[in-house]
Structure 1
Amino acid sequence: MRTIKHIWSLGLLTTGILTVTACSNLLDVDPRSNVDSQSALTTAEGLDAGLNGIYDRLQNTALYGRDMLAVAEALADNAQATNKSGRLNNENRNIAGSSFGTTFAPGTWQSAYFAINQANLILDALPGVTALTDTNRRNSIRGQAQFLRALLYHDLMRIYAYDPGVEIAQNSRGGVPLLTTGVLNQGQITFPARAPIADVYTQIYSDLQGSINSFGRSAGSNGTLPTNGNLQAAQVLFSRVALYNKDYATAVKNATDAIAGTVKLSPNASYVGGWRAPRNPESVFELAYTTPENIGVNNALQTTYTTLVRVGDRTATGGFGDLVPNNAFIAELEAEKNTAGQALDIRRQLYELGTTGRGNAFIECTKFLGKNGIINLDNVPVIRISEAYLNRAEANAMLGNTANALADLNVIRTRSGLPERTGLTGDALLNEILRQRRLEFGFEGHRWFDLKRRGQDVIKTIPLTTTPNNVPYNDFRILAPIPVNELSTNKSVRQNFGY
């Protein structure tokens, strides 16, 4: 549990765009922190508590506790639903309205806007906390709030809006509503329309550059921890956002800055072990869970991905293994073999046969297998340093910088136990970069968004169904529906096409 446990009252907000009901206090703060709600955002401790509240919210099932990873995998072409609990079946079949919450359940939209409002309140309050004279701490607080707001807005854009450069103009309803001022009471509520896609990206860029500048002035602060927003995490995120924005020079620049940071790529021999450690050594931003924050047997990533309790032990059944790799994904992991016919790719070791305790056994993902042996309790790596290499490789390939793109591709290949590739150019080079991205981030929630940002069709190969439900890029299901509650509250917001 974080040093200061901070809970924001849900009574204040009923939808992502902020409907206010009766609420006596904005904050309930754990008494152990010695910060009460009267001093909520007027002290350094209160601001830290506010940040902790955002990290807590990111742990929710609707965000990085499950959906930003598992739902994104279910929608894409890496995974098949096993129907062992019934969860994620509709998402895996791409049923209209079953993505990141449903049409009637606010899900990710609401959780993200709650957290954005918290970041706004912190940034609004920070200049007035004159007693905070530690400039490192002040800059770290600002940097973390800006980083988190950028992450959340980009996640909303990835889910609910078309990505720059591949917009289907006749179907597009714009980006998402931009709220950059915090709401404390009913008189402060506004009901903005969806901002243009370019405007939302401008705001995200501004937050990320501001975050990088703030962290650059806060050496030695808690903003350097991977369980907090930090400089290296902001740089990798900026490279990601720029890649989505088809701004390849900016992607290269920020990826290069991140690669020069303190978190390094794991050596080949320790990569798999890093997923068994309490904290993944490749994480530049990771959500830390403690025992009271265990999501449990229904929705945790471990129970979602595997029936196993421990690596290599098929005698004990824990979770459901609702979402497992399909044959096509495993075939890609096993495509390159040694002379004995064994897969060269060490990432294949993170997928193993589950138990029969919930029915038929499947090969399952074991990236989230219980930190310190505690079932359903894993830290969640949100951003890993390997992304910086693959972001830079793809951006350089798009810029025609073939040698640089190939060099980064080979860094990932050799770390993964694969031989270097030589002579790749053009589409062959780009396709291998995208293939390595698929394998590197399998079951970490990238694949759906990577296909979407490139305007590619989603071709499903699901052996458990007789009619795989492909999703052409021009299908309306490429975007998630805006929740009905939001539409009824904010009349300025237009629903996505097709819903």
Structure 2
Amino acid sequence: MKKILPLIAVFSLLLTSCSKQFIEILPVDTVTVDVLYKTDKDYQDAVIGVYGIFQDQYANMYYFGDIRGDDVWDELVKGTAGAVDNFTLANDDALLINTWRNYYKAITRANALLERISTADASITNKNRHTGEAEFLRALAYFDLVRIFGDVPFVTKSISIDESYKTPREKVDKIYDEIIIKDLLDAEAKLPASYTGPDVGRATKGAAKALLGKVYLTRKDFAKAETKLQEVTTMGYALLPNWADLWDYSKNEHHSEYIFDIEYEQGLGGEGSIYTNRFTPKVTSMIAFYGIAGSVDDQNTPHQVLFDLFEAKDKRKDITASRGYTDGTGKFIPILISSNNMSAYTRKYIARITTANDSPADWKVIRYADVLLMYAEALNENGKTSSALPLLNQIRTRAGVDPYATLTQAQMRDKIALERRMELAFEGHRWFDLVRTGQAYTVMQKYGMKPHNTLWPIPFAQIQLVNNRAIFPQNPGYD
């Protein structure tokens, strides 16, 4: 996948050049692109165009999944990050507008591809694979949209500009039943279990099954979640023996624990990620030691509550949340307390970079540790606590902490939630875990959350464009 990343920029430019008009509610950027859909390679490139949108969108996923929760905060309280952290984000903030646009760009491109490939002839030799990838990405886009905004427009085909202004927000359940689950079931049937060569990194059968398992878990359909996640455990995935290797960007990222990432590549002219620069403190000696080019932004600070979760011997502790760095002599250099820089940071995205915002650090959408913990959760909710225990203990044993002996169902529920916090911190899970388990307001009200904040505001620009509250209302509490 990394070898074909440069095509993303080329294909995106081509789509833009073919566009006659852009609207914010449902971006139509494939109006006259039939010429693009002729050969198998055309369809492959079209899929790459959908992946490219996720590169842009997931550059901001930490706002939604991490800063919004209790384990991460915006220590310096500035701009959008501070407003997200304090539950004061305005409904016209650029974060919301760009998020809406990005997901509907991805959906529009996937829709266009799926419409055209459905009538493609036998010369499209990888028809199933292209279809499965587009369906997987469309399902991921809608899954993120409903988790962020709730009811959203339901669009599965190309529509006109006039139609887009009349498209209502549809109920979340309909979107789950008629698009997300349907797409993922079809995608898992069509996608290969693995790839070779430059195609490694594309969505696979395992990725579709794992995401579908998460969808079922989110909907509290624990029986289906158990079945689907169990299937993933039979596909050859395994935890890496050394947890730290997950964050060593000099090593192969497509390892046994890899299921699906939003991928970036250093040195390809704009295909790197922003995470290293965005999450590093403004400490001159640290920046020089790590070899980070460009300015850094002091965002995504680990909260004290996260530090307090870890046992001293936990191998995940110092990489997940740190108050300094260890220099070449083995000496620990603490971050000096200052109003100009945050006092702690995560090392999960630290990489040596020679150009600003050109990091090789990927965003791990779903990895095998997440699957094991979700599978344990589903088993436990289905009354199979003893079967869930070995899965939970696999995660703990790798982390170097003692496995649990016996747990009741209620204890297991709490321990799985705790383990997810320690294992998956800074990977965009905590806020969504709080919401899906019904714990968000209980945990977050002391940080300023109001009951309606389980959903984010619909971008005000979209409300204005449709200008019909009967079919397109704002979420409660944001008018």
TM-score scaled by structure 2? 0.84
SS in 2 for 1:485: helix
Distance across 2 between alignment mates of 1:199 and 1:496? 18
The structure 2 residue matched to 1:495, chosen from 471, 474, 477, is: 474
Within the alignment, does 1:192 sit opposite 2:167 as a pair?
A: yes
Paired residues, number: 444
Q: Is the 8 A contact 1:85 1:320 kept in 2?
A: no
Alignment CA distance shift 1:283-1:191 (3 Å): farther
**Alignment map for 1:322-341 (pairs within 5 Å):** 322-333=299-310, 336=311
Distance across 2 between alignment mates of 1:239 and 1:349? 28
One-letter amino acid matched to 1:417: G
Displacement of 1:440 after TM fit? 1.2
Q: 1:42 is matched with which residue?
A: 38
One-letter amino acid matched to 1:182: S
Alignment CA distance shift 1:105-1:157 (3 Å): closer
Give the share of equivalent positions with the same residue, in percent.
24
Distance across 2 between alignment mates of 1:404 and 1:51? 39
Q: 2:329 is matched with which residue?
A: none
SS in 2 for 1:320: coil
Q: Deviations over 1:195-224 (max 9, x none)?
A: 222211102110110001111xx4665799
One-letter amino acid matched to 1:106: I
Displacement of 1:441 after TM fit? 1.1
**Alignment map for 1:288-307 (pairs within 5 Å):** 288-290=263-265, 291=267, 292-293=269-270, 300-307=274-281
Distance across 1 between alignment mates of 2:376 and 2:174? 27
Distance across 1 between alignment mates of 2:437 and 2:356? 37
Q: 2:350 is matched with which residue?
A: 369
Distance across 1 between alignment mates of 2:258 and 2:284? 23
**Alignment map for 1:5-44 (pairs within 5 Å):** 5=8, 6-7=11-12, 8-9=15-16, 12-18=21-27, 26=31, 39-44=35-40
Within the alignment, does 1:287 sit opposite 2:278 as a pair?
A: no
Displacement of 1:49 after TM fit? 1.6
One-letter amino acid matched to 1:16: I
Displacement of 1:288 after TM fit? 2.1
The structure 2 residue matched to 1:349, chosen from 319, 333, 339, is: 319
Q: Is the 8 A contact 1:74 1:81 kept in 2?
A: yes
The structure 2 residue matched to 1:265, chosen from 222, 230, 239, is: 239
> Which residues of structure 2 form unaligned runs of 5+?
325-334
Within the alignment, does 1:469 sit opposite 2:447 as a pair?
A: yes
Alignment CA distance shift 1:360-1:379 (3 Å): closer
Q: 1:319 is matched with which residue?
A: 296
Displacement of 1:192 after TM fit? 2.3
SS in 2 for 1:263: coil
Distance across 2 between alignment mates of 1:38 and 1:304? 39
SS in 2 for 1:15: coil
One-letter amino acid matched to 2:415: E
Q: Is the 8 A contact 1:102 1:481 kept in 2?
A: no
> Which residues of structure 1 form unaligned runs of 5+?
28-36, 162-174, 337-341, 462-466
Q: 1:415 is matched with which residue?
A: 398
SS in 2 for 1:293: coil
SS in 2 for 1:235: helix
Q: Is the 8 A contact 2:63 2:84 kept in 1?
A: no
Q: 1:2 is matched with which residue?
A: 5
SS in 1 for 2:345: strand
Q: Deviations over 1:63-82 (max 9, x none)?
A: 211x2223321111011212
One-letter amino acid matched to 2:102: S
Distance across 2 between alignment mates of 1:43 and 1:358? 57
SS in 1 for 2:447: coil
Two-structure CA RMSD over aligned residues (Å):
3.0
One-letter amino acid matched to 2:220: K
Distance across 2 between alignment mates of 1:248 and 1:455? 15
Distance across 1 between alignment mates of 2:396 and 2:299? 30
Q: Is the 8 A contact 1:223 1:229 kept in 2?
A: no
Distance across 1 between alignment mates of 2:195 and 2:350? 31
Q: 1:405 is matched with which residue?
A: 388
Distance across 1 between alignment mates of 2:279 and 2:95? 26
Alignment CA distance shift 1:358-1:45 (3 Å): farther
Distance across 1 between alignment mates of 2:425 and 2:320? 10
Q: Which has the higher helix share?
A: 2
SS in 2 for 1:332: coil
Alignment CA distance shift 1:212-1:126 (3 Å): same
